[in-house]
Amino acid sequence: MSCAEHAIQFACGGERLQGILTRPEHPCQLGVVVIVGGPQYRVGSHRQFVLLARALARVGYAVLRFDYRGMGDSSGAPVDFLNADADIAAAIDALMTHAPDVKRVALWGLCDAAAAALLFCHTHNDPRVAGLCLLNPWVRSDASLARTQVKHYYTQRLMERAFWAKLLSGKVAAGALTGLLRSVGLALKGASPTASMQAPFQTRMAQAWRAFRGSLLLILSAEDYTAKEFLEYARADPAWSGALTQPNLRRHDLADADHTFSAAASSLAVEALTLAWLAELKTPTIS
């Protein structure tokens, strides 16, 4: 199917957001908003979001990828994932305005963009959001990072003969041992109490995840510490209890994939999984 790309601008909080709409000639009623995570803009690492948007549009999905306020070509002070609700809402409105055939949307986000998608759903009960595609969700805290390091890095190091040889010969720096002890202490201590009355963002993510009645697609990279940290957090924190076994969840773990799925095979796998999930989401189930 032929498709075209259009630069569009739309308003948010008195600022102008820049987006690229990849629109097929005849869009279906399900569209996709690609949320951009981290200090980057709408192209994505190794042009990931460009390639994804074009692949989805070729089979009929209108896709909008955009810059938060203060990021890329959008005006205003920089906005992070904790404060992107208004930006995401404005992007959904813009997609439906410029592609009026679209009646429902899927939000697609990697890393802290996945967190932003869940936080948006926590504060907005938007019936237009039919699905969430979440890749290596960001749940970073000092305690969760420490648990991940102890389990997946230090435990492996302690089992290596070379590590003990260096330790006994004095070639392991004192800083490395200090880092190990600090990580163990943080892992055992757990998360620090928040000074704010608001629940931690990880808890709000879990609440949104559990309350969401649409379709959830979770894609995790086997070689990514952010993904490992998410799994550790979801297994250890009571707010996430049962979240990974919900009936509306589809989960895929990609072997050898790094955080941004930079290898061609990993990128194509993400594309294929997204397309298969969207095909199921395209026709709402009648209960």
Q: What is the pLDDT of residues 111-132, one digit of tens each?
A: 999 999 999 999 999 999 999 9
On whether the CB atoms of residues 27 and 62 are closer than 8 A, the answer is yes
User: What local confidence, expressed as pLDDT, does residue 11 receive?
Assistant: 98
On whether the CB atoms of residues 150 and 184 are closer than 8 A, the answer is yes
Distance CA(177)–CA(170), nearest Å, equals 11
User: What local confidence, expressed as pLDDT, does residue 116 receive?
Assistant: 98
- pLDDT tens track for 11-37: 999 999 999 999 999 999 999 999 998
Quick one: tokens of 240? 């996430």
- In sign, the C-alpha dihedral spanning 264, 39, 19, 137 is positive
The chain-wide mean pLDDT, for the chain, equals 88
Q: Kindly report which listed range (49-53, 146-150, 218-222) carries the lowest average pLDDT score.
A: 146-150
Distance CA(231)–CA(102), nearest Å, equals 34
Residue 174 reports pLDDT greater than 70:
no
Confidence of residue 180 (pLDDT cuts 50, 70, 90): very low
User: What local confidence, expressed as pLDDT, does residue 275 receive?
Assistant: 98
- pLDDT tens track for 190-236: 544 444 567 999 999 999 999 999 999 999 999 999 999 999 999 99
| Residue the block writes with tokens 């006994």 | 168
User: What is the mean pLDDT of the segment spanning 140-166?
Assistant: 61
User: What local confidence, expressed as pLDDT, does residue 198 receive?
Assistant: 78
User: What local confidence, expressed as pLDDT, does residue 195 receive?
Assistant: 47
- pLDDT tens track for 244-276: 999 999 999 999 999 999 999 999 999 999 999
Distance CA(164)–CA(59), nearest Å, equals 55
Confidence of residue 152 (pLDDT cuts 50, 70, 90): very low
Give me the amino acid identity at 261. F
pTM (2 d.p.): 0.83
Angle between helices 201-211 and 112-123 (to 10 degrees): 70
Residues in a beta bridge with 107: 33, 132
User: What local confidence, expressed as pLDDT, does residue 150 receive?
Assistant: 56
Phi, psi angles (nearest 5°) of residue 202: -65, -40
On whether the CB atoms of residues 220 and 273 are closer than 8 A, the answer is no
Q: Which long-range contacts (CB under 8 A, 24 or more apart) does 242-248 make?
A: 242/210, 243/206, 243/209, 243/210, 244/218, 246/209, 246/210, 246/216, 248/212, 248/213, 248/214, 248/215, 248/216
- pLDDT tens track for 74-107: 999 999 999 999 999 999 999 999 999 999 999 9
On whether the CB atoms of residues 242 and 248 are closer than 8 A, the answer is no
| Residue the block writes with tokens 């550790």 | 232
Please list, residue by residue across 221-257, b when 16 or more beta carbons sit within 10 angstroms of its beta carbon and e when fewer do.
beebbbbbbbbbbbeebebbeebeeeeebeebebeeb
